[in-house]
């Protein structure tokens, strides 16, 4: 397993629509190794989640540290070929960061309740609902699979700042402020 280099803003891989992974390939050694590399890279860069395009691989694959279920120990969640459906028109605005935009943070408004359908690392179909910050993290990571970055979703670029200044000056009035980990 290996820690991979993270693609940063300006690299074309971040603007491509990623290819789906054929179901029969999910349990193959190359895909399983990719998942492990993504997990190691996510932890090395202190991320909350990571999408394959962020490590220069244009495939529909996301790994996330899932610690949103009260009373349940954190675990790894893998989403392959995910589909997201908003379940409400209610939104939340969160100061998001991204490993592909190191050192920056900005306010993004997203649906705060979604339904997710995907395949897991075993190729099994999964479906679940996510609310609040969990929904934000999933939407952020899945945006990478369609060539979008959080800055594309910002409506007020005056709310984009370096992380230190965001935490110091802009975090008031946002749901989680400057202390949210980068994804």
- Domains of the chain, earliest start first: 12-179 (3.90.45.10)
Q: Which residues contact 42 (CB under 8 A, 6 or more apart)?
A: 48, 49, 50, 63, 65
What gap in Å lies between CA 109 and CA 178, rounded to an integer?
Answer: 15
Q: Which residues contact 108 (CB under 8 A, 6 or more apart)?
A: 93, 94, 96, 136, 140, 150, 153, 154
The pLDDT tens digits for 101-123 are: 999 999 999 999 999 999 999 99
Mean pLDDT estimate for the chain: 93
Beta strand spans in the chain (E):
49-51, 61-66, 75-86, 91-97, 104-111, 113-119, 125-131, 160-162
The pLDDT tens digits for 19-64 are: 999 999 999 999 999 999 999 999 999 999 999 999 999 999 999 9
Active site residue 141: yes
3-state secondary structure of 150: helix
pTM of the model: 0.91
Between strands 125-131 and 91-97, the pairing is: unpaired
Q: Of 76, 84, 57, which Cα lies nearest the Cα of 122?
A: 76
Whether the predicted pLDDT of 1 surpasses 90: no
**Which residue is catalytic, options 96, 121, 141, 182?**
141
What gap in Å lies between CA 167 and CA 34, rounded to an integer?
Answer: 33
Strand order in the sheet with 61-66: 49-51, 61-66, 75-86, 113-119, 125-131
């Amino acid at each position: 397993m290996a820690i991979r280099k993270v693609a940063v803003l300006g690299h074309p891989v971040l603007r491509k629509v990623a290819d789906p992974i054929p179901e029969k390939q999910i349990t193959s050694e190359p895909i399983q190794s990719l998942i492990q590399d993504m997990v190691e890279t996510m932890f090395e860069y202190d991320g909350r989640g990571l999408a394959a395009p962020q490590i220069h691989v244009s495939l529909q694959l996301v790994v996330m540290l899932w610690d949103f279920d009260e009373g349940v120990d954190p675990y790894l969640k893998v989403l392959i070929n995910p589909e997201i459906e908003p379940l409400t028109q209610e939104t939340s605005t969160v100061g998001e960061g991204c490993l592909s935009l190191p050192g920056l943070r900005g306010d993004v408004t997203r649906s705060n309740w979604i339904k997710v359908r995907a395949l897991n690392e075993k190729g099994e179909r999964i479906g679940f609902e996510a609310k609040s910050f969990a929904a934000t993290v999933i939407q952020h990571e899945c945006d990478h699979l369609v060539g979008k970055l959080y800055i594309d979703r910002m409506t007020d670029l005056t709310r984009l700042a370096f992380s230190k200044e965001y935490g110091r000056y802009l975090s008031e009035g946002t749901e989680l402020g400057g202390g949210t980990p980068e994804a």
